[in-house]
Structure 1
Amino acid sequence: MPGARRSLALRHPHGGLREGGSFDRVSTDFQTARAALGARLRELRSEAGFNGKGVAEVLGWQYSKVSRLETGK
Structure 2
Amino acid sequence: MPLILIAIIIVFLIVAYFTRRGADTRACRWRKNASRDKGSLHYYRCAACGAEAYTATKDTPKDCKSKVTSRPL
TM-score, with structure 1 as normaliser: 0.32
Task: Looking at secondary structure, tell me which structure has more strand per residue.
Answer: 2
Task: Looking at secondary structure, tell me which structure has more helix per residue.
Answer: 1
TM-score, with structure 2 as normaliser: 0.32
Identify the structure with bigger relative contact order (alpha carbons < 8 Å, sequence gap 6+): 1
